[in-house]
Structure 1
Amino acid sequence: MAHLADVLTYIFENYPSKNLKSKDPLKGLSPRKIIWLAYLADWKNAILNGRQISDAAWKIMDFEPSLEPESLSDVTLFAERKSRRILTPLRTALIGNGLSRQETGLIDEVISIARNRTPEELKQLVYSTYPALSGDGKDTVDMVELARKYQDIMPQRKLQRSK
């Protein structure tokens, strides 16, 4: 299982800029959007492979995925990497990023789905996931258990990997 910081860094480095000539270093990505993409990647991997990609401890409050305090250190590490620019594509290629090829492929699929959606459409996608609909805000979300329940309830809607 990868560190959340690795997932966040991968999303940030691989999310396409809306305007290739743009000098926007954030590529139009807000912290909320990066967190949503990591959440969607964890949820999709839980359904497809029976585990999260990241070690994030997720909590759902009013349909909004948020991170438990123990996961916030990874967010801080991601912010430090980004602000210091110590993770360049070359450095990532040399030292790796803690993600398997399968995991980066799945994250790429999530990025591909998200990049053409408006902020409101992405919000609707996140808020319509089974964990968001079933979360009570009291406990950490067990993505793997919820994926099992989801597949029992909605077997015809099992996600399939893109070909």
Structure 2
Amino acid sequence: MENVIMNVIKYILQVYPYKDELSASRLTKMLYLTDWKSALEYDSQLTDTIWHFHHYGPYVDDFVKMAKDDSEIQVTTTTTMFGGNKQLFELSRGVTRPIELNPELKHIVDFVIEATKDKNYEEFIKLVYSTYPVISSSKYSNLDLVQKAREYKAHLVAQ
């Protein structure tokens, strides 16, 4: 599972058009959106992550740690426009080979990239916070994305 997650992270780092936006927060939430889209389309998550909804929205430290521990990923600490620190992730300069994903996974990750690439951080966060698992759950609870996808689809059918 970890290899698949790392390939998705590296794929995002390679193809996402605005490299200076790939902070720990955006990268993690893109993985959340990938898991959510996978739950909607395939009734399973890409990862085996138990997503937790806390004051920063859906977030898991594991992905940041995995990326930091990978020799092909470089992490740079920089400053936000508000003066706080943020970590930016990028592929190391020596990584030039294409990162390959299976077709279903590539479809989902490309969908997430396309849906988010033109959103500034505020718009991106609004998108994440508007997803059904977030709006239908209490803060500080775990988000069962597969169950939430089933609930969401049941609501659509009932309309």
State the TM bucket, normalised to the shorter chain. Answer: 0.7 to 0.9
The CA deviation string for residues 55-110 of structure 1, in whole angstroms up to 9 with x for no partner, is 3221112470012x6xx1x43221233128388241x55xx5xx422101210111
User: Does the aligned pair in 2 maintain the 1:130–1:146 contact within 8 Å?
Assistant: yes
Matched, 1:7 2:8: yes
Secondary structure in structure 1 of the residue aligned to 2:58: strand
Q: What is the identity, as a one-letter code, of the residue corresponding to 1:13?
A: Q
Aligned length, in residue pairs: 140
Higher strand fraction: Structure 1 or Structure 2? 2
Q: What is the identity, as a one-letter code, of the residue corresponding to 2:36?
A: W
Matched, 1:124 2:126: yes
Over the aligned positions, Cα root-mean-square deviation in angstroms equals 2.6
Matched, 1:39 2:28: no
The offset of 1:38, in angstroms, is 0.9
**Structure 2 stretches lacking a partner, 5+ long:** 75-90
* 1:1-163 superposed matches below 5 A: 3-17=4-18, 26-62=19-55, 64-67=57-60, 72=62, 74-81=63-70, 82-83=73-74, 85=92, 88-90=95-97, 99-155=101-157
The offset of 1:124, in angstroms, is 0.9
User: Does the aligned pair in 2 maintain the 1:8–1:34 contact within 8 Å?
Assistant: yes
Between the aligned partners of 2:48 and 2:107, the Cα distance in structure 1 is 18
Percent identity between the aligned chains?
Answer: 27
Is the alpha carbon distance of 1:80 and 1:54 closer, same or farther for their aligned partners in structure 2, counting shifts above 3 Å? same
TM-score by length of 1: 0.73
Higher helix fraction: Structure 1 or Structure 2? 1
Query: Post-superposition, which runs of at least 4 consecutive aligned residues in structure 1 deviate over 6 A?
Result: none
